């Protein structure tokens, strides 16, 4: 116990054992998996049609946003190139399903159904469809353990989307709150601000939403403001999560090149007027 | 825990106890219900040791505890230590414990699970920011209340499967 609290020597042993016990999670989760499956089988045609329509509408909305995103990203990368800073690489994601929950009420950790066999490594960020979910803390053969951002032991470097004020969002052990740590009372943070990952520290990719500021309390006696943040991720409802893979630094150059190509194509499709601009930048660089 | 001669029943009961330890309620239910989970493993191990002290060994229990640690995401060695402690106490006094009334056995269970919870707070305190919560006292209480049921159930299984 002492060894583990201070070193990482026992991690390989843990992951080996995890491969043995992971079936137990799946058996324990089976009532929920089964009820989902049964629900899918017995839903009526009308329900399916209605759901299909809703989903189609969402796909339309999202594809419209993503078209804009491609153009914006290309523009952003051009600007970054002009400034001489490195272009951001795209992140790959892997969809994983929740198969277990750690039973201890003092902690928030879940088990997902992808492990070392899918290339998951310790420290990878996990998202759900709404925002940052947590990070991988232990990888077994076929499952991994993920600590949620609200866990008392978890903290994530963040910035305020509106003005870039940096802070650290620590878990509180409560289901619906994070707390921004060491925020000075003069910091420009108001209720409703969107908090996103800053990418500092290199563990979490920058720019993913973490939560919205739900209250700012300034005590006259304290040098720090107490800022509570409500996570945007649906921490207790999401059954599918996304594990983020950082682009491999070794293949950085080539993927960056591919990326440029893809962007130029996207640009051509998205906006004819931008084309000349892009050519100019290409010539400069 | 030798699989021969009905030993698989012991193993199976322990695995089922692990399973009960990770089954969770629907997420929409209030979170405090999580405190009402008894320490199933202590109950089951305690039963087998006082019934069949020669079948359950300290080392075997300790290694079994390692699996439980990974399953419950506890520090490695914690559950092994707790279960080995329970085994030792039960094994040392099994003749006396068998003669006790159910109420007295419940008292012993309460003390053992309470000790496990307190140890847990110390161990977690080494590497975590988690704090003691009074609700942790619910675990020994529920374990104590469930002991008679677990005892009767396992006794029936033991006689049914002729575990010697």
Do B164 and B126 contact (CB within 8 A), yes or no?
no
- Name the percent of chain A lying above pLDDT 70: 82
Q: Phi and psi (nearest 5°) for A51?
A: -65, -40
C-alpha distance from B30 to closest chain A C-alpha (Å): 11
User: How much is the average pLDDT of A139-159?
Assistant: 90
Do A142 and A16 contact (CB within 8 A), yes or no?
no
The DSSP call for residue A89 is P
pLDDT for the residue A60? 92
pLDDT digit string (tens) for B18-29? 888 888 777 777
Residue A32: closest C-alpha in chain B: B26
pLDDT digit string (tens) for B64-120? 888 888 888 888 888 888 888 888 888 888 888 888 888 888 999 999 999 988 888
**B78–A18: do the CB atoms touch at under 8 Å?**
no
CB-closest option in A5, A32, A109 to B75: A5
> Is residue B23 less than 8 Å (CB to CB) from chain A?
yes
Confidence of residue B136 (pLDDT cuts 50, 70, 90): confident
Residue A146: closest C-alpha in chain B: B73
**B19–A4: do the CB atoms touch at under 8 Å?**
no
**A145–B73: do the CB atoms touch at under 8 Å?**
yes
> Is residue B34 less than 8 Å (CB to CB) from chain A?
yes
pLDDT for the residue A250? 52
pLDDT digit string (tens) for A4-63? 655 666 777 888 888 888 888 888 888 888 887 888 788 778 888 998 999 999 999 999
Tell me the CB-side half-sphere exposure of residue B106, using CA atoms within 13 A: 13
Closest residue by Cα to residue B78 from B100, B62, B54? B62
How far is it, in rounded angstroms, from Cα A163 to Cα A71?
A: 23
ipTM above 0.85 for this complex: no
Q: Which two tokens stand for residue B36?
A: 């009402």
User: In a 3-state reduction of DSSP, which class is residue B70?
Assistant: helix
Residue B18: closest C-alpha in chain A: A24
How far is it, in rounded angstroms, from Cα A212 to Cα A190?
A: 10
- Say how far residue B52 (Cα) sits from the centre of its chain: 16
Confidence of residue A136 (pLDDT cuts 50, 70, 90): very high
pLDDT digit string (tens) for B153-163? 888 888 887 77
Contacts of A34 in chain B (CB under 8 A): none
C-alpha distance from A248 to closest chain B C-alpha (Å): 30
C-alpha distance from B77 to closest chain A C-alpha (Å): 6
Residue A170: closest C-alpha in chain B: B129
The DSSP call for residue B97 is H
User: How much is the average pLDDT of A192-219?
Assistant: 88
Paired with A127 in beta bridges are A132, A242
CB-closest option in A1, A10, A32 to B126: A1
User: How much is the average pLDDT of A247-261?
Assistant: 50
C-alpha distance from B133 to closest chain A C-alpha (Å): 9
pLDDT for the residue A236? 79
> Is residue B30 less than 8 Å (CB to CB) from chain A?
no
How far is it, in rounded angstroms, from Cα A168 to Cα A182?
A: 8
Closest residue by Cα to residue A87 from A67, A73, A71? A73
- Name the percent of chain A lying above pLDDT 90: 18
Test mutation, A16, A24, A32, A136, chain B, max B CBs within 10 A: A24
Confidence of residue A147 (pLDDT cuts 50, 70, 90): very high
Cα angle value B25/A106/B132 (rounded, 5°): 140
Is the predicted pLDDT of residue A260 greater than 70, yes or no?
Answer: no
Is the predicted pLDDT of residue A86 greater than 50, yes or no?
Answer: yes
User: How much is the average pLDDT of A186-213?
Assistant: 88
Domains of chain A, each with CATH number or no CATH:
53-89+247-284 (no CATH), 96-246 (2.40.10.350)
Closest residue by Cα to residue A68 from A264, A279, A277, A270? A270
Do A74 and A274 contact (CB within 8 A), yes or no?
yes
If one compares A9 and B11, the residue with the highest pLDDT of the two is: B11
Residues 87-116 of A with CB under 8 A from B: 100-107, 109
pLDDT digit string (tens) for A153-172? 899 999 998 888 899 999 88
Q: What is the dihedral of CA B4, B7, B12, B18, to 10 degrees?
A: -130
Q: Is A243 exposed, middle or buried (0-12, 13-18, 19+ CB in 10 A)?
A: buried
């Amino acid at each position: 116990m002492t060894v583990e609290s201070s070193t990482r020597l026992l991690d390989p042993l843990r992951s080996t054992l995890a491969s043995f016990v992971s079936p137990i999670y799946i058996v324990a989760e089976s009532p929920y998996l089964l009820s989902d499956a049964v629900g899918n089988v017995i839903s009526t045609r009308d329900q399916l049609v209605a759901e299909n329509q809703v989903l189609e509408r969402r796909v339309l909305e999202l594809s419209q946003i993503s078209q804009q995103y491609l153009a914006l990203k290309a523009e952003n990368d051009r600007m970054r190139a002009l400034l001489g800073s490195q272009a951001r690489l795209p992140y790959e994601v892997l969809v994983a399903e929740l198969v277990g929950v750690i039973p201890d009420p003092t902690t928030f950790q879940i088990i997902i159904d992808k492990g070392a066999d899918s290339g998951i490594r310790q420290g990878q960020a996990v998202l759900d469809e709404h925002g940052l979910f947590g990070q991988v803390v232990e990888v077994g053969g076929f499952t991994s353990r993920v600590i949620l951002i609200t866990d008392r032991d978890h903290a994530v470097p963040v910035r305020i989307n509106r003005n870039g004020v940096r802070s650290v969002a620590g878990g509180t052990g409560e289901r619906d709150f994070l707390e921004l740590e060491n925020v000075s009372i003069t910091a420009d943070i108001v209720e409703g601000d969107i908090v996103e990952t800053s990418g500092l520290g290199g563990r979490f990719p920058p720019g993913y939403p973490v939560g919205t500021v739900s209250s700012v309390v300034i005590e006259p006696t304290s040098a720090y403001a107490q800022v509570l943040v409500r996570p945007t991720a649906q921490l207790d409802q999401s059954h599918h999560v996304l594990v983020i893979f950082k682009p491999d630094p070794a293949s950085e150059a080539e993927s960056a090149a591919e990326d440029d190509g893809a962007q130029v194509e996207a640009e051509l499709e998205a906006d004819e007027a931008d084309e000349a601009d892009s050519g100019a930048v290409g010539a400069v660089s | 825990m030798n699989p021969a001669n009905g030993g698989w029943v012991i193993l199976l009961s322990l695995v089922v106890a692990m399973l009960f330890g990770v089954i969770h309620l629907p997420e929409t239910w209030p979170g405090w219900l999580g405190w009402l989970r008894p320490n199933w493993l202590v109950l089951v191990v305690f039963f087998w040791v006082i019934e069949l002290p020669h079948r359950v060994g300290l080392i075997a229990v300790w290694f079994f505890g390692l699996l439980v640690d990974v399953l419950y995401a506890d520090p490695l060695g914690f559950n092994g230590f707790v279960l080995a402690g329970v085994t030792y106490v039960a094994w040392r006094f099994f003749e006396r414990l068998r003669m006790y009334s159910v109420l007295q056995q419940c008292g012993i269970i309460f003390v053992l699970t309470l000790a496990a919870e307190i140890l847990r707070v110390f161990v977690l305190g080494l590497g975590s920011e988690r704090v003691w919560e009074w609700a942790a006292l619910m675990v020994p209480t529920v374990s104590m209340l469930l002991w008679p049921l677990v005892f009767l159930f396992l006794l029936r299984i033991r006689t049914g499967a002729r575990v010697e």
